[in-house]
Structure 1
């Protein structure tokens, strides 16, 4: 899959997730596990880089089926969290948005921009 980027501003970009992002995202989850656990039940089921890689593969399948997509949120060259749009219901023209952001990147307007 070819890398896809959305440049938000000089500091912030969204990148369509690929398997190459799995280690960086897993590391961020590990660093923020107690914080993320409050809201996201999947955190305790993501126990390895391979778990994250498998999840990204499932997201890539949604993208290829035109049923959703997920991006990493990059701020000043660092991965800070993710935002995803899935599943897309084309008939009713609606989508669910899921997101999470590392604790130390809160309050910078990153989610609002994303």
Structure 2
């Protein structure tokens, strides 16, 4: 868990279902333009079921999902799915409530998540996949030193159409060469 100033990042927990559901509900159209899973969560009970399943996946490291809190309010989520421990790679994803954007929350959260994946999960490669039009997500990848590798054509079916995805990657060796000032939140 990371705590710094007004920001807290912690592993998901079922007790957070109401707060995360309410955040998602307020931001459903904002989040659903880029992600498919919000359509599967229509009630607080759905969020609770989702968190129970994902907590079990966290325990066996097939996913890692963390909640982001700002000033004690649920602000978003960040994590890794499609973790392949044998090949030491995972796909990083994130979302933030619109009312929390522009405060540096996702910048700090993504730095922490990258460090966590390399240090605690022992990943060697992290990928981010996002729509070419998702400039905020692309900026997070670039600002964290991810390298744009290419385009997956028509790789994500969302909202009735098939979208392209830009793929970014970061290797553990890339991260080790970053400036010390970029990791001010480390212990």
TM-score normalised over the length of structure 1: 0.88
**Deviation at 1:96?**
0.8
Aligned pairs (5 A) from 1:89-108: 89-108=84-103
Following the alignment from structure 2 to structure 1, what is the Cα–Cα distance between the partners of residues 34 and 40? 14
Aligned to 2:60: 65
**Deviation at 1:67?**
2.1
**Deviation at 1:23?**
0.6
Q: Which deviations, in whole Å up to 9, do the C-alpha atoms of 1:39-58 show, x marking residues without a partner?
A: 11222221111111111111
Q: Which has the higher contact order (CA 8 A, sep 6+)?
A: 1
Aligned to 1:6: 2
Moved over 3 A (4+): none
**Deviation at 1:84?**
1.3
**Deviation at 1:87?**
2.7
Equivalent residues, number:
109
Aligned pairs (5 A) from 1:1-114: 5-7=1-3, 9-114=4-109
CA RMSD between the two structures = 1.2
Following the alignment from structure 2 to structure 1, what is the Cα–Cα distance between the partners of residues 40 and 60? 25
Unaligned runs of 5+ in 2: 110-187
**Deviation at 1:33?**
1.1
Counterpart secondary structure, 1:107: coil
Following the alignment from structure 1 to structure 2, what is the Cα–Cα distance between the partners of residues 44 and 95? 23
Counterpart secondary structure, 1:39: coil
TM-score normalised over the length of structure 2: 0.56
